[in-house]
Amino acid sequence: MSRRQKIVVARYRLIGDSILSIPFLRALRRQNPQAEIHLLIGDDAISLMAHCPYVDKVITFEPRKLGYWQAMRLVRRERYDVAYILKRSLSSAMMMFLAGIPERIGFDTEGRGFLLTQRVPYRPKEQHEAQCYLDLLPKSDSPPDMALALWLPEEVQESAAKRISGVKRPRITLHATSSKPAKCWPITHFATLAQMLIETYDAQLYCFGTADERALYDAMIAALPEARRANVNNLCGETSLIGTMGILPHMDLVVANDSGMIHMAAMADVPVVCLFGPMDPNQWHPLSQRVTILTNPDLDCRPCRMKITCGNRFPCLTEIAPQQVFTACKPYLIS
């Protein structure tokens, strides 16, 4: 009996990027129904992708923690036939080359083309990031399926339903953090928005994140009138990522910075209002039909793609007023 072809997909690091790989993984499986497909992914996102039906195995992969050579040896042991390198770094291509994978397909970025057997142009200014990933695959006659999907274990669904049981609507997630401080709308603006949502809709607000982020939301809550503070549920450090993902489908709306949360909201099929500053929403918007994107369109410097030229004043975000965000929320909250 012949051995199944073994394919590895390297997209480790960052929650949002991992979620945006779902259309690619679906298309890869359709084109290779008999192959054994493995996904290398960072431990921050592995719980979201652990039950993905398009791959046979999801592997926690953290070269920075494991050590570069140890990570390379881990890949080499699997004896892969093909590597799709969704990461754009020189080090990721070098690792697949040194692991002895015969066919290596990736973006021709960071001068790494000589390490690839198939170089693909990276075109982020022309199309969405998820479409860039799909460029790595052979062209198909049918249009790509860009829909996301959510795979939650039954126990996660039951736990989330129990936690949210009896909480009146509307339920709104406010997400004030991001991987880069430059992507963050001011926390004082979030506090103003929170007060408007509570006073207008008597909304129950939810904040998710790590234990280290808890103090940020405590500061937001402290800025509210005392009578309004009970409407805010600061769950930072109290829920895992998959636990948060279980609760999100019970939300009526997510308001968030450009972060993994906007893609988690799309994965959960929840409306999302996104605040974009330095990055280009045409490349990074959530894959959802129910999304409102807010930017400051009157600036010649945006999107700067993190090549900051404003002296860290970030008018692209600070000049988006809370009233503007509140107005964007209204259509999703009127039944």
In angstroms, rounded to a whole number, what is the distance separating the alpha carbons of residues 89 and 214? 32
3-state SS assignment for residue 150: coil
In angstroms, rounded to a whole number, what is the distance separating the alpha carbons of residues 166 and 154? 20
Closest CA to 22 of 174, 149, 109: 149
Non-local CB neighbours of 3 within 8 Å, separated by 6+ positions:
none
3-state SS assignment for residue 335: coil
Closest CA to 96 of 9, 4, 201: 9
In angstroms, rounded to a whole number, what is the distance separating the alpha carbons of residues 13 and 270? 24
- Whether the link from the prior residue into 303 is cis, omega within 30° of 0, is yes
Non-local CB neighbours of 38 within 8 Å, separated by 6+ positions:
6, 7, 8, 9, 55, 56, 57, 58, 59, 78, 80
3-state SS assignment for residue 120: strand
Phi, psi of 187 (to 5 degrees): -65, -30
**Homologous superfamily of the 6-134 domain (CATH):** Glycogen Phosphorylase B; (3.40.50.2000)
Non-local CB neighbours of 148 within 8 Å, separated by 6+ positions:
19, 22, 23, 263, 266, 267, 269, 287, 288
Q: What pLDDT is stored for residue 142 in this prediction?
A: 86
Q: What is the pLDDT along the chain (335 residues), one digit of tens a residue?
A: 567 999 999 998 889 999 999 999 999 999 999 999 999 999 989 999 999 999 999 999 999 898 999 999 999 999 999 999 999 999 999 999 999 999 999 999 999 999 999 999 999 999 999 999 999 999 988 888 999 999 999 999 999 999 999 999 999 999 999 999 999 999 999 999 999 999 999 999 999 999 999 999 999 999 999 999 999 999 999 999 999 999 999 999 999 999 999 999 999 999 999 999 999 999 999 999 999 999 998 898 999 989 988 988 899 999 999 999 999 999 999 76
Closest CA to 200 of 166, 231, 233, 164: 231
In one letter, which amino acid is 105?
Answer: I
The predicted model scores a pTM of 0.95
In the chain, ranges of CATH 3.40.50.2000 domains: 6-134, 158-333
Q: Does domain 158-333 have CATH number 3.30.830.10?
A: no
